[in-house]
Structure 1
Amino acid sequence: MKQRGFTTIELLVVLVVLCTGAWLFFSQKASIDASARDSERKVAINAMYYSLEEDFYEKNGFYPSTIDSKILRSIDPALFTDPRGHKPGEGAAEYHYAPIDCSLEGRCKAYRLYADMEREAEYSKDSRQK
């Protein structure tokens, strides 16, 4: 008499194939998500950079000693919050603004703007004026 159904070996093979497929899917998804967050960081740094250069510096003739949405009004305030929820100047922030050669009044001659990336080297922009 022949029994119907699958053998234990057949079930194990199917289980191994499904687990391998799930592992591949989730590892690729994590990689794609990290690349997307890195792209968000680049967009934010570029927006801050162009706002500093083409708006703030053109109007004032100097760079600020700090940046936030009140100083750089020409960009979306949400861009100041990194993918992990921190703003420049906070301890765990991924966006960094380093002013260079500042006076006591907070007028700076240059700056370095950079972001910590997950899958790439640090992404940075330096001021046009040195």
Structure 2
Amino acid sequence: MRSRGFTIVEIVITITIMSILMVLAVVGVSSTQSNARDEERVSDIEAIAQNLESFYVAGHDGLSIKGGLTYPATVNMTSANILTTLRDIDPKALTSPNAATSTTISVTNATNSTQTVTGVSPLPTTATYVYQPLHSDGALCTSPTTSGGCRKFNLYYRSEKTNAVQMITSRNQ
């Protein structure tokens, strides 16, 4: 007599194959999502850098900086006034994909003038970007009206996929 069901071996093999395929799908989706967040970080940093370059050329009437040829100092880039300083920027570009909320400003000011991906303080996380304005002598620019203004900047962000800190520099070095 012949039975019409599946044997235990056939069921175990089918479940094993399905489990392997599910693991591969989950790993692929996770990798794709981290790549997408890294691409968003790059896009955000490029938008911030472009707006900083526009600020350098045009200056800003609402601040004590007129006529351009200086980047915003740390005092101009706090979360309270960054949207006033970079008035043409899309606010979404100021929020990292890993930020706590969609309205969190992810740009943090550097507290030192070390211009390396390991020496800048604070180090960026996947949820923060670091802005480092510098005087022409390399000192941290905390005020736009001292020592000839802020003549260059560095932006730092951390890649989620490689966990490495990346640095973008201003056109005017």
TM (norm. structure 1) is: 0.88
Structure 2 gap segments, 5+ residues each: 59-67, 110-121, 136-140
1:18-58 deviation line (CA, Å, top 9, x unaligned): 000000001011111111111000101111111111x1000
Q: Is the 8 A contact 2:131 2:153 kept in 1?
A: yes
Greater fraction of residues in helix: 1
CA distance in 1, matches of 2:70, 2:143: 13
Structure 1 gap segments, 5+ residues each: none
CA distance in 2, matches of 1:16, 1:103: 61
Task: Count how many residue pairs are aligned between Structure 1 and Structure 2.
Answer: 129
**What is residue 130 of structure 2 aligned with on the other side?**
96
Of 80-89 and 33-42, the range deviating more from structure 2: 80-89
Aligned-residue RMSD, C-alpha? 2.0
Shift of 1:113: 0.7
CA distance in 2, matches of 1:10, 1:100: 68
| Residue among 106, 113, 127 paired with 2:155 | 113
Evaluate the alpha carbon distance shift between residue 98 and residue 27 of structure 1 in structure 2; reply closer, same or farther with a 3 A threshold: same
Evaluate the alpha carbon distance shift between residue 96 and residue 103 of structure 1 in structure 2; reply closer, same or farther with a 3 A threshold: closer
**What is residue 45 of structure 1 aligned with on the other side?**
45
Shift of 1:94: 2.7
Q: Secondary structure at the match of 1:69?
A: helix
**What is residue 64 of structure 1 aligned with on the other side?**
72
**What is residue 31 of structure 1 aligned with on the other side?**
31
Runs of 4+ in 1 over 4 A off after TM superposition: none
1:46-94 deviation line (CA, Å, top 9, x unaligned): 11111111x1000121011233222112120111000111511188543
Of 80-89 and 13-22, the range deviating more from structure 2: 80-89
TM (norm. structure 2) is: 0.67
The residue identity in structure 1 corresponding to 2:169 is: D
